[in-house]
Structure 1
């Protein structure tokens, strides 16, 4: 075992987050510091991708704010993440759905997985 993986396993705590993948609609609750105050803000959107492995894993979420698309990249081990809620499970055929960026309206819908 090399030194980097040893330090990652030993010192970086892993969060107990639900399993989600591309196409799922999730809500991420995270803390924001403004001066000395902290508050919780949420970001709800569709997961476009999960990238990386282990400690360096990140995921990208996209939401529409009016007519403008807003994307945000979150590290999985971000200390500010309080919780992640899965709102809908999406049925997509690829792991990175960047084609959603060009789609609007009815064309941007993702089929829902039945549970």
Structure 2
């Protein structure tokens, strides 16, 4: 009998994807299907949480859109997530940045790490 944990470990090893860190500003390219058409939608925001669980790993991205906070949870190994661009890295001292939900304006700023090079 095949062990489910063994299957997940093999799938993760064959599908090498790197997780963004908490505090990273990212742009996630997601495939959206509308009727017969498919298109790529970009979602740009701050990674506020990671959930590591092998093939079930997810990361939560938060952005402000017209004064309303929007959060999306993306599975790392989903075939719908086409690409994750890391735009900037910020210095954070917490594993979860849920406190950012209450902060507005200048209080919501994070200190950016200087020597970060964007991958092209």
Per the normalisation by structure 2, the TM-score is 0.87
Aligned residue number for residue 54 of structure 1 = 54
Aligned residue number for residue 110 of structure 1 = 110
Question: Residues 114 and 11 of structure 1: is their aligned pair in 2 closer, same or farther, counting only changes over 3 Å?
Answer: closer
Deviates more, 1:4-13 or 1:99-108: 4-13
2:79 pairs with 1:79: yes
2:45 pairs with 1:45: yes
Aligned residue number for residue 64 of structure 2 = 64
Distance in 1 between the 2:50 and 2:42 partners?
A: 19
Unaligned runs of 5+ in 1: none
Deviation at 1:36, TM superposition (A): 1.3
Unaligned runs of 5+ in 2: 116-120
2:18 pairs with 1:8: no
Per the normalisation by structure 1, the TM-score is 0.90
Distance in 1 between the 2:70 and 2:16 partners?
A: 26
Distance in 1 between the 2:83 and 2:38 partners?
A: 16
Distance in 1 between the 2:15 and 2:75 partners?
A: 12
